[in-house]
Amino acid sequence: MRDFIYDFRRTLTGKFTIIMIVLIILITAALAFSSGNSISSSSGPSPATVAYVMPEIYQSGGHTYVSDLAVNGYGRPLSGFLVSSLLYNGSLTSSQLNPTNSYYLNGTTNSYGFFNSSVSANWTNVEYSYTPEYVSGLNISSTTAYYENFSSKLSFYPNFNANGASPADSNIPGPAYLYMFPVANTSSTSHSNLFIYYASPAGTYMPEEKIYYQLDNNSFSFPKYHNSGMLYLKTISGIKSTVVSMPLNNTAINTPVTVELFNTSKDFNAGTFAVLYKSVSAGGILESSITLPFEFLIPILGIFSAYFYYGKDKTSGVLESIIARPVTKGRIFMSRFTAGSLSFLFAIGVAEGIADLIIFRYTGSWISSHTFFSIALGYTAEAIAFSGLIYLTSQYLKAQGSILGTGIGLFFILALFWGLIIDVILFESHVNLALKSSIVLRVILSAISPSFIPTLASDLNTGVYSMGIGNSLPASSVGITAFSVVGVGIVWIIVPFVISFLLARSRD
């Protein structure tokens, strides 16, 4: 037994094994990092490069005061941001505007994200708009804000979806206004936070407001105007702006959430209605990123691992020198095959775990346990299968070049071109590719190559067999079941191993 353990440890800590483990981990981590970055870019502009500019307007002493707050897509204040806008008398038509009844306001925000300005005007109707443009890579959305100064009521409201409440609905004293809308979460692309800003004259702070929320179950319309049936989150007061994190679980995935603010008298003041927890499949992201690279990497590593630790030693006479000691060929075969198999499982498992951590940083979602084991076991089975084929050919071939050449040939046939070979077989058989029986035949032909084991495992995990863009069938309907996939994996691992082991043992 000591000879088995010695040779097992020697294989497990060999140079090629260490290089292989490091290579799999580094490549997988790099692919996960690249996929995470692509998720951020494909979902639109980075939140750090987006700007929300929110005006606040009020009048006092014959002057009209404007205060613009600029925050990025995370709800953080933007300093040094250029604001370009027009303030004008809303009672006039565009042809009547001149320098005495309209003013261009241009300036940059301070360290708190504010740009403050004023003009000597006291119009009853005030309109205020931003020039839509890109400034320093930041997007200013086109919007118009309105301020009305009537004897009965002061009101201010921006004309964009920053609050589910109209000035008539809200109980905030005019001309104050509550901005409330979703912003990105710094630690998760699947979750969104809420940004709340209390725009009020002379910088007064927000009175006490209670935050309530409820998942949309189609039993009410937005806004609700009352907190009955809603969940209490927290109370906020004495602030100008804040970012609120929502405690949503999996029941809120892709489901709109109503969030509303109520004062101490339970009067409705503001609200928003949005999906704040989007579904992001971390497992799907990882699988899509590693499929093509692993199509080449795993078979090659399986082939070379078996060649370096068994085929090369067998043809060079190294095994014979080891056998001169009280060690059998069967035990050497068993120790090296087992050590190689476990090294693949370890390398792929650790690489997948690290990739999971990296993708979680971008998505806020973990790879499910089913997907994790599907990926790990699928690619491990593929690696062991290709390795087993080299162990098997080593029992018949006597030259190192022959073994390595056969391994490369198997790689080209079973890994690179097997999909094309299947297409040729089906074409020459003149089968109707639209029939389910033809699809089942394709699945059976796929199982003949170990390079398709990860694909079959993935189809089993998702329950879907994809036939191209927009076309798919239930995996079970074409024969992809737990029994068939596990059976294919076991056959590819056991058969080459058993035949090789029996041949090696017979020659002791």
Secondary structure (DSSP) of 200-267? -GGGPPP--EEEEEEE--SSS-S--SS-TTPEEEEEE-S-SEEEE-----GGGTT-EEEEEEE-TT--
* pLDDT over threshold 90, residue 432: no
State how far the Cα of 122 lies from the Cα of 108, in Å rounded to an integer. 24
Which of 118, 83, 123 minimizes the C-alpha distance to 201? 118
Q: Do residues 380 and 344 touch, judged by C-beta distance below 8 A? A: yes
**Listed residue (147, 148, 144, 178) closest to 159, CA to CA:** 144
CB-based contact 192:183 (threshold 8 Å): yes
Q: How far apart are CA 356 and CA 365, in angstroms?
A: 9
Q: pLDDT tier at 345 (50, 70, 90 boundaries)? A: very high
pLDDT in tens, 305-332: 998 888 887 776 665 555 555 567 777 8
Quick one: which of 206, 255, 249, 209 has its CA closest to 232?
A: 209
Residue range 333-356: mean pLDDT, rounded = 92
* Residue ranges of domains in the chain: 2-41+281-506, 47-275
pLDDT at 393: 92
Taking a C-beta distance cutoff of 8 angstroms, is the pair 49, 56 a contact?
Answer: no
- Asked if the peptide bond before residue 223 counts as cis, ω within 30 degrees of 0, the response is yes
| 3-class secondary structure, 112 | coil
pLDDT over 70 at 507, yes or no: no
Confidence tier at 249 by pLDDT (50, 70, 90): confident
Percent of the chain with pLDDT over 90: 33
User: Per residue in 275-314, pLDDT tens?
Assistant: 888 776 777 888 888 888 898 999 999 999 998 888 887 7
pLDDT digits (tens, 9 = 90+) for 95-147: 888 888 899 888 999 999 999 999 998 888 888 887 655 444 444 554 556 66
- pLDDT digit string (tens) for 23-43? 999 999 999 888 877 765 555
Dist. CA 103–CA 117, nearest whole Å: 11
User: pLDDT at position 470, please?
Assistant: 53
Do 393 and 403 touch, CB atoms closer than 8 A?
yes
Per the CB < 8 A criterion, the answer to whether 489 and 381 are in contact is yes
pLDDT at 219 over 80: no
Return the C-alpha torsion angle 316, 322, 323, 325, nearest 10. 160
DSSP-assigned states of every residue in 406-444 = HHHHHIIIIIISHHHHHHHHHHHTT--TTSHHHHHHHHH
Mean of the pLDDT values across residues 242-269?
86
